[in-house]
Chain A
Amino acid sequence: MKRSLIILALAVAAQPAIAADVKKGEQLAQQQCAACHGKDFVTAIDPTYPKLAGQYVDYLEKALRDYQTGARKNAVMAGLSKPLSRDDIRNLAAYLSSLPGPLNNEKR
């Protein structure tokens, strides 16, 4: 009895955090972000807008959180990030980071 409880506890603990939903991220990104950052997230409509395709997932999440809290200031991004939930941000970042693009930090 005791052992089965321990096994159950271990099984629960080993459960990975619920994975981000890339499909939902894609939907949201194409609706909310693609108009400025480009459908491919490499060709933005304005060269001062960053390429997002293939960027690190945790950096993208942080950037969106910073826009939400106002730690990073940009009028457009402040408005767009306001209504996003935690899951929306995770899904968006998961989708954008999965896309192919030129971004890299490689040493050459």
Chain B
Amino acid sequence: MKLSRILLLASAATLSFAAVAQEKKTGAAAGTVQAPVSTCIGCHAIPGYQASFPQVYRVPKIGGQSPQYIEAALKAYRQGDRKHPTMVGVAKGLSDDEIAALAAYYAQRGR
């Protein structure tokens, strides 16, 4: 009796997780995944802002950039193919949907 109740609860939990996962997967297409821009604006929304580590140069302009390039760049940082420590750290926390949403958001912000 007790065991079957536990099993029932466990299967219900699994189902709801699956539902959430499914929602997350299709979110970008439906436009429901928010682009986590607050992560980016500290550096990329200040014209002339300079990265100071490991080298000093201005952080690249990304507003108006091609969305496929932004997506490729973020995925390269996430995999460690591109090495900038701040960007690697940021990208490791992003899902595919969030990357797609960010790419779309910045691509639309051309001058």
Residues in chain A within 8 A of chain B (CB atoms): 44, 47-51, 54-56, 58-59, 61-62, 71-73, 101-108
Residues of B within 8 A of A50 (CB): 65-66, 69, 73
Q: Looking at the complex, which one of B57, B64, B66, B69 makes contact with A58 (CB distance below 8 Å)?
A: B57
B60 x A106 contact (CB < 8 A)? no
B45 x A106 contact (CB < 8 A)? yes
B47 x A59 contact (CB < 8 A)? no
A59 x B110 contact (CB < 8 A)? no
Residues of B within 8 A of A71 (CB): 83
CB contact list, B44-99 vs A, under 8 A: 44-49, 55-69, 72-73, 81-83
Residues of A within 8 A of B59 (CB): 56, 59, 105
Q: Which 7 A-B pairs have the closest CB atoms?
A: A102-B110, A102-B64, A58-B57, A103-B61, A47-B68, A107-B45, A56-B58
Known: A48-B72, A58-B57, A62-B55. A104 touches B66 (CB 8 A): no
Specify the chain A residue showing the minimal Cβ separation from B47.
Answer: A105
A54 x B61 contact (CB < 8 A)? yes
Residues in chain B within 8 A of chain A (CB atoms): 41, 44-49, 55-69, 72-73, 81-83, 109-111
B110 x A47 contact (CB < 8 A)? no
A73 x B81 contact (CB < 8 A)? yes
Q: Looking at the complex, which one of A58, A61, A104 makes contact with B47 (CB distance below 8 Å)?
A: A104
Q: How far is B48's CA from A47's CA once the two chains are assembled, in angstroms?
A: 26
CB distance from B89 to the nearest CB of A (A): 17
Q: How far is B82's CA from A50's CA once the two chains are assembled, in angstroms?
A: 15
Residues of A within 8 A of B109 (CB): 104, 106, 108
B81 x A105 contact (CB < 8 A)? no
Specify the chain A residue showing the minimal Cβ separation from B45.
Answer: A107
Q: Looking at the complex, which one of A44, A62, A103 makes contact with B110 (CB distance below 8 Å)?
A: A103
Q: Looking at the complex, which one of B45, B60, B83 makes contact with A55 (CB distance below 8 Å)?
A: B60
A59 x B72 contact (CB < 8 A)? no
Q: How far is B110's CA from A73's CA once the two chains are assembled, in angstroms?
A: 27
